[in-house]
Amino acid sequence: MRLFTTDDLFSLSNINLDKWTNTFSMDFYLTYMSKWPDLFFTEGAPNGDLVGFGVGKIEGDPNPEKLDYRGHVSVLTIAPEYRRARFSLTFMKFIEDVSEKVDNAFFVDLFVRKDNDLAVALYRKLQYSVYRHILEYYGNHNDAYDMRKALPRDTKKASIVSPYSKPIHVSKTYTTLSPVCNKHPSYNPYYYIITFNCFDTPLPSQK
């Protein structure tokens, strides 16, 4: 496994041609490469193709009393022909290790399509649990699970205890939008907003 480079951006076709994989603009990838280069990584196959890639970031309030400082899995995708080779496990462990040992985060979280049974099962196997169910997070009215896994710093696993008793709509997740954010042409605008953290004011918990 190695860090992603700009040259790799021209080798994503075999990975992105899949209904479970979201595609993003060049700006998305370049932003992550510049801000969180140690959490943008890939693996190459012997024939030169990319097996897959992972994109992560560190975010949240570093105040230890808030238990909010976390690693976030923004993208994790494997080319269809390599999905039985356990690369997903390797990629997830890498993100967790960086979040824990480099950034001292409390937990790792991610968003996954609710109907992607294989991915949800994989994350459950890795000890992720559903923190909240978000309605219409993705385009075409597809729901998402926000899943979390506590890291060793959170000794009581308080960061993964959900305050949500029912699903919430994506529009209730964040309110005022930053003026620098534009709507993604293909997806639910709130999905684009949340992915880039393009918000000014978070709403209180919606229970």
**pLDDT given for residue 187 in this prediction:** 38
3-state secondary structure at position 44: strand
Higher pLDDT: 96 or 19? It is 96
Higher pLDDT: 18 or 102? It is 102
**pLDDT given for residue 93 in this prediction:** 94
The token duo for 134 is 């978000």
Please write the tens of the pLDDT for every residue from 124-162: 999 999 999 999 988 778 899 999 999 999 999 999 999
Give the separation between CA 56 and CA 79, rounded to whole angstroms.
18
Nearest to 137 by CA among 116, 119, 114, 158: 114
**pLDDT given for residue 204 in this prediction:** 35
Please write the tens of the pLDDT for every residue from 14-33: 675 555 556 667 788 888 89
Q: Are 114 and 142 in contact (CB under 8 A)?
A: yes
Kindly report the backbone phi and psi dihedral angles of residue 4, in degrees, each rounded to the nearest multiple of 5, phi listed first. -70, 145
Averaged pLDDT of the chain: 80
Residues ≥6 apart with Cβ < 8 Å to 165? 207
Q: Which residue segments constitute the domains of the chain, with CATH numbers given?
A: 2-162 (3.40.630.30)
